Every structure is written in C-alpha cells, then in structure tokens.
C-alpha cells in the first residue's frame, strides 16, 4: 500500500512533466508507476494539492504558468498591507502554493504565512515596511510589486 505522500508526489511529477486531460489518464500513469488508486482517492489528492483543471490545457499545478488571459503567473491577484500584516489574494486553489513558495524563500522581513484557498496572510517582522517586504518577496515572485494595491 502506497502512502499519501508518495502518491501525491507522483501526481505532482506527472502533471508537472506532461499534459494530462482526465482522471482516467492520471490513473493510468500512476498505474505505470506502480501506484493503484481509486477515482475517489485521486479526486481527494487533486483537491488537497490544489491542482486545477484548465479547459484546453488539462491539469495544472498551482504554481504553473497558465495561458489563460488575465491569469497571472502563480495565480497572483493582489497584495495589500495593513500594519504588520500583508494579504495576498490569488486565483482559487493557488494560495497554498503561494504561501509555500514564500516560506521556501526565507526572508528577514517575513516571519511566516497562513494560507487558505485564495488568500495568504503574511506576518511581517518588526522594522519592515511594505517596500522592504516586497523586495524580500521578489525571490519567490519577481514582479510582485506589480500586484500591490496601495
């Protein structure tokens, strides 16, 4: 029996490397990797990983660029600051990946993040303002300042 982490890692690998348009295709690819799973389990994994299905493009990881007009790389919509907090709005399903990307790029300005489905709360350290925080976030998101709502 496979554990959840290895099955989900395989899903991310498959979707990150090739175009997949149906759950049946995903199940077949997983079987080729020695992972047998039900459609219900596959559906739960896709939801847990915030993987979306884009019409004409197939399944996409939250951090992958989309060809859909108006959809920014990484699903970013906006960033706003209030006191020692910032809120990033994303397309539905992208917040987990955005929060994770921020946490994976340690920053002297960012203490940590909390992510929902389409919102990321950033806790900012004392002594840092919006400009310094945005400068630190560019490691994960090169043009994040373009999404700043002042």
Domain at 103, CATH number: 3.30.1360.40
How many domains does the chain contain in total? Answer: 2
61: left (phi over 0), alpha (psi -120 to 50) or beta: beta
Task: Give, in order, the Cα–Cα distances in Å from 47 to each of 43, 54, 122.
Answer: 6, 14, 23
One domain for residues 87 and 42: no
pTM beyond 0.85: no
49: left (phi over 0), alpha (psi -120 to 50) or beta: alpha
pLDDT at residue number 68: 36
One domain for residues 141 and 90: yes
Q: DSSP labels for 47-78? A: HHTT-EEETTTEEE-TTS---STT--GGGEEE
Name which residue leads in pLDDT, 145 or 93: 145
Q: Is residue 53 part of a domain?
A: yes
pLDDT in tens, 31-56: 999 999 999 999 988 887 778 888 88
pLDDT in tens, 72-117: 456 788 899 999 999 999 877 778 888 888 887 888 999 999 998 8
One domain for residues 106 and 132: yes
CATH of the domain at 26: 1.10.10.10
Domain assignment of residue 23, given as a range: 4-60
One domain for residues 90 and 56: no
pLDDT of residue 66 exceeding 60, the answer is no
Q: What is the mean pLDDT of the chain?
A: 83
């Amino acid at each position: 029996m496979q554990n959840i982490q290895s099955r989900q890692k395989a899903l991310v690998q498959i979707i990150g490397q090739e175009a997949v348009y149906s759950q049946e295709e995903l199940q077949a690819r997983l079987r080729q990797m020695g992972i047998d799973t039900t459609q219900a389990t596959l559906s739960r994994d896709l939801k847990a990983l915030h993987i979306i299905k884009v019409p004409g493009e197939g399944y996409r990881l939250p951090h992958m660029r989309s060809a859909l007009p108006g959809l920014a790389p990484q699903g970013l919509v906006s960033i706003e600051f209030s006191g020692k907090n910032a809120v990033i709005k994303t397309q539905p399903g992208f917040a987990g990946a955005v929060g994770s990307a921020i946490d994976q790029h340690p920053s002297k300005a960012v203490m940590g993040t909390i992510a929902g489905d389409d919102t990321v709360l950033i806790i900012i350290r004392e002594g840092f303002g919006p400009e310094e925080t945005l400068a630190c976030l560019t490691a994960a998101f090169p043009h994040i300042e373009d999404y700043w709502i002042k």
